[in-house]
Amino acid sequence: MDNNKLGEQDFLVASISQLSISGSASPPVVARFRSDSLVFTYESDSDDVVQFDRSNCQLYKLGPAQSLCMTEASDTSKEKSYSRGITIEFRNEEESRAFHCAFEQWKKEVAIQGSCLPNEMASSSASKFDDKIEESSAKMYFHYYGQLLHQQNMMQDYVRTGTYYAAVLENRTDFTDRVVVDVGAGSGILSLFAAQAGAKHVYAVEASDMADYARKLISGNPSLSERITVIKGKVEEVELPEKADILISEPMGTLLINERMLESYIIARDRFLVPKGKMFPTIGRIHMAPFSDEYLYIEIANKALFWQQQNYYSVNLTPLHGTAFQGYFSQPVVDAFDPRLLVAPAISHVIDFTSAKEEDLYEFDIPLRFVSSTGTRVHGLACWFDVLFGGSTVQRWLTTAPGAPVTHWYQLRCVLAQPIYVMPGQEITGRLHMVAHKAQSYTLNLTLSAKMWGPGAEQGGILQTSSGKLDLKEPYYRMSQPQAYPMSQDQQPNQLLQTQDLQIQSHDEEGSDLLQQPV
Ligand X SMILES: C[S@@+](CC[C@H](N)C(=O)[O-])C[C@H]1O[C@@H](n2cnc3c(N)ncnc32)[C@H](O)[C@@H]1O
User: Which of 85, 118, 186, 468 is the binder for ligand X (CB under 6 A)?
Assistant: 186
Task: Name the residue type at position 95.
Answer: E
Closest approach of Cβ 359 to ligand X, in Å?
Answer: 16
250 is catalytic: yes
User: Which of 69, 88, 117, 189 is the binder for ligand X (CB under 6 A)?
Assistant: 189
Closest approach of Cβ 268 to ligand X, in Å?
Answer: 8
CB atoms within 10 A of CB 381: 27
Contact predicate 290/381, CB 8 Å = yes
Candidates 38-46, 185-193, 289-297, 477-485 — which segment interacts with ligand X by CB under 6 A?
185-193
Which residue number, 145 or 353, has a Cβ lying nearer to ligand X? 145
Q: Partners of 69 in the beta sheet? A: 59, 86
Closest approach of Cβ 410 to ligand X, in Å?
Answer: 15
Using CB atoms within 10 A of its CB, is residue 114 exposed (0-12), middle (13-18) or buried (19+)? exposed
Using CB atoms within 10 A of its CB, is residue 436 exposed (0-12), middle (13-18) or buried (19+)? buried
**Which DSSP letter does residue 222 get?**
H
Q: Does residue number 184 form part of the binding site for ligand X (CB under 6 A)?
A: yes
Tell me which residue of 330, 516, 294, 233 sits closest to 419, measured CA to CA. Answer: 294
Dihedral pair phi/psi, residue 195, rounded to 5°? -65, -40
The CA-based dihedral angle spanning residues 363, 329, 473, 385, taken in that order and rounded to the nearest 10 degrees: -60
Q: Does residue number 208 form part of the binding site for ligand X (CB under 6 A)?
A: yes
Minimal CB distance residue for ligand X: 184
Candidates 186-194, 285-293, 384-392, 430-438 — which segment interacts with ligand X by CB under 6 A?
186-194
Residues 229-288 within binding reach of ligand X (CB under 6 A): 234-236, 250, 261, 264
Q: Does residue number 133 form part of the binding site for ligand X (CB under 6 A)?
A: no
Task: Name the residue type at position 108.
Answer: K
Q: Does residue number 190 form part of the binding site for ligand X (CB under 6 A)?
A: yes
Tell me which residue of 428, 403, 404, 402 sits closest to 416, measured CA to CA. Answer: 428
Taking the C-alpha atoms of residue 460 and residue 434, their distance in angstroms, rounded to an integer, is 25
Which residue number, 337 or 353, has a Cβ lying nearer to ligand X? 353
Please give the size of the binding site for ligand X, defined by CB under 6 A. 23
Candidates 2-10, 93-101, 201-209, 400-408 — which segment interacts with ligand X by CB under 6 A?
201-209
State the binding string over 90-129 for ligand X (x if CB under 6 A, else -): ---------------------------------------x
Residues in the chain: 519
Which residue number, 334 or 446, has a Cβ lying nearer to ligand X? 334
Taking the C-alpha atoms of residue 438 and residue 162, their distance in angstroms, rounded to an integer, is 32
User: Which of 205, 334, 341, 388 is the binder for ligand X (CB under 6 A)?
Assistant: 205
259 is catalytic: yes
Residues 154-173 within binding reach of ligand X (CB under 6 A): 154-155
Which residue number, 183 or 450, has a Cβ lying nearer to ligand X? 183
Candidates 179-187, 386-394, 428-436, 472-480 — which segment interacts with ligand X by CB under 6 A?
179-187
Closest approach of Cβ 418 to ligand X, in Å?
Answer: 35
Tell me which residue of 498, 468, 489, 477 sits closest to 341, measured CA to CA. Answer: 498
Active-site entry in 94, 206, 237, 259: 259
Candidates 180-188, 338-346, 385-393, 427-435 — which segment interacts with ligand X by CB under 6 A?
180-188
User: Which of 3, 67, 123, 187 is the binder for ligand X (CB under 6 A)?
Assistant: 187
Tell me which residue of 184, 119, 177 sits closest to 154, measured CA to CA. Answer: 184
Which residue number, 261 or 279, has a Cβ lying nearer to ligand X? 261
Tell me which residue of 190, 250, 188, 193 sits closest to 215, measured CA to CA. Answer: 188
Closest approach of Cβ 352 to ligand X, in Å?
Answer: 20
Give long-range contacts, CB 8 A cutoff, 24+ apart: 493-496. 493/339, 493/340, 493/342, 493/373, 494/340, 494/342, 494/343, 494/373, 494/374, 495/340, 495/374, 496/292, 496/340, 496/341, 496/343, 496/374, 496/376
Q: How far is CA 504 from CA 324, 480, 483, 485, 510, in A?
A: 29, 12, 7, 6, 17
User: Which of 103, 145, 353, 389 is the binder for ligand X (CB under 6 A)?
Assistant: 145
At CA 142, angle to CA 136 and CA 144, rounded to 5?
100
Candidates 4-12, 183-191, 272-280, 352-360 — which segment interacts with ligand X by CB under 6 A?
183-191
Binding site for ligand X (CB under 6 A): 129, 142, 145, 151, 154-155, 184-187, 189-190, 205-208, 210, 234-236, 250, 261, 264
Catalytic residue positions, numbered: 250, 259
